[in-house]
Chain A
Amino acid sequence: MADNKNKWSQPSTPPPPLFTGKKERDLVKQVNDELIERVIGQQIVYYPISLEHTNFHPLYGEAMEKTFLPPIRVHALVEYEGNKTAFMSNVGIDKEASITVHFHKRRLTEDQDLFVRVGDFVLYGDIYYEIVALDEPKQIFGQVDHKMEITASCIRAREGLFDAN
């Protein structure tokens, strides 16, 4: 007769990874928070456009004046891509500026309750930029449910498009 005390039992959930569990992910978040906010210190102001309060045209979906929810100061890594001279066809000399903002996803969603969307605006320096593309290129420890960052490609918003003042 087998001893019931030594009988093997299957755990209800699989064991966590040895070295890439919640504690390690929290360590990554803590290190990144400190690095981004206390060492590098770049920051932007995020303007979420309010669909409910903005008078978008019912067919064309355009609005002369955009209403935004309360802006939020966000620490992030900003790649400045210059303010280049460009030529607008049939018009003339123009300027184009763009940045890429790397948001720390967990800091954004868990601590600041902010969700990045295409079409929202950010203020970096004294220039407003519109978010035109988003990407989430990295996972933490290759875990599909845990993303490291949100990368936002932004182009300069002309004064006629958005002005928070």
Chain B
Amino acid sequence: MPTKIDKYPKDSSDPSIVSETIIQPSTIENIDFAMFEYLDDQLNLFTDTNKGFKKTPVTWISSERAHQVKNKRELRDSNGSLILPIITVERTDISKDPARKGIFQANIPPINDYRGGSITINKRINQDKTANFANADALRRMNVNDASGGSRHDRRGQINFPNPKQNKIVYQTMSIPLPVYIDVEYKITLKQNTNNK
């Protein structure tokens, strides 16, 4: 069950925000992190060793020498040799294939404002702006009715009396840039001591 704390994030004082989801940008670094975490956390591979049933460590290839040697000392024995089994990940290639356009077959020009964005993915009512329009309309009608000696009592003396025909609704739209599809190739190496399994 979601609690009130879950419903209203701590860092948001706006009660109209029910929940927030932070979408990470798809940078190469984030794609690499996702691949690494998929291997390390999601697959979470274990293996039988002479020390028992142990999680197989996953490392990223091509870090600096000092980092390789001094970080994660549990990967090596006292002599400095790697303790197998081990899984290594390496990004070998990134290519952008023009034939892979995805669902957007042509360029969509961005929205003409400083934020840009080509594809609208969500929208919500901007309560403040919509209320301003509604109040302005109601006030205008009340003034008009007054001038014609009319129906002030119809609105019960309220400048913000509800108008069922209110159609000036202001939306806040969220849009994203046109996606760029790329192919990323990874080389995953599983190194073990013996080949009899």
Q: Which residues of A contact B (CB under 8 A)?
A: 49, 51, 54, 56-57, 59-63, 66, 117-120, 130-132
Q: Among the listed A57, A59, A132, which residue makes an inter-chain contact with B65, where contact means beta carbons less than 8 Å apart?
A: A132
Report the number of A-B residue pairs with Cβ-Cβ less than 8 Å: 52
Are A59 and B32 interface neighbours, CB within 8 A?
yes
A60 and B62: CB pair below 8 A?
Answer: yes
B41-77 contacts to A (CB < 8 Å): 60, 62-71
Q: Is the interface of B mostly helix, strand, loop or mixed?
A: helix
Contacts of A56 in B (CB 8 A): 63-64, 67, 71
Besides the contacts A49-B70, A56-B67, A118-B66, what 17 more A-B pairs have beta carbons closer than 8 Å? Answer: A56-B63, A56-B64, A56-B71, A59-B29, A59-B60, A60-B60, A60-B63, A61-B62, A61-B64, A61-B67, A61-B71, A62-B64, A63-B67, A118-B68, A119-B66, A119-B70, A131-B65
Q: What is the bound-complex CA distance between A118 and B64, given in angstroms?
A: 10
B33 within 8 A of A: yes
Quick one: closest A residue to B89, CB to CB?
A: A59
| Other-chain residue from A51, A61, A131 in contact with B60 (beta carbon distance below 8 A) | A61
Q: How far is the CB of A160 from chain B (nearest CB, A)?
A: 12
Judge whether B36 is part of the interface by a CB distance below 8 angstroms: yes
Complex Cα gap A61–B62 (Å): 8
| A130-B60 contact given A51-B70, A59-B33, CB 8 Å threshold | no
Task: Give the complex CA separation of A96 and B146 in angstroms.
Answer: 91
A118→B60 contact, CB < 8 A: no
- By a CB distance below 8 angstroms, the chain B residues around A119 are 64-70
- Contact assessment for A66 and B66 in the assembled complex, using a CB-CB cutoff below 8 Å: yes
Bound CA span A130–B36, Å: 28
Whole-angstrom CA separation of A134 from B67 in the bound complex: 16
Question: Which of A59, A60, A117 sits near B66, CB closer than 8 Å?
Answer: A117
Are B63 and A62 neighbours in the complex by a CB distance under 8 Å? Answer: yes
Most buried by B among A118, A130, A131, A132: A118
Complexed CA–CA distance, A66 and B70 (Å): 13
Residues of the A chain whose Cβ atoms lie less than 8 Å from the Cβ of B64? 56, 61-63, 119
Q: What is the CA–CA distance of A60 and B67 in the complex, to the nearest angstrom?
A: 9
A118-B71 Cα distance, complex, nearest whole Å: 12
Residues in A whose Cβ lies below 8 Å from that of B71: 51, 56, 61
Q: Closest 4 CB pairs between A and B?
A: A61-B63, A119-B66, A119-B65, A61-B67
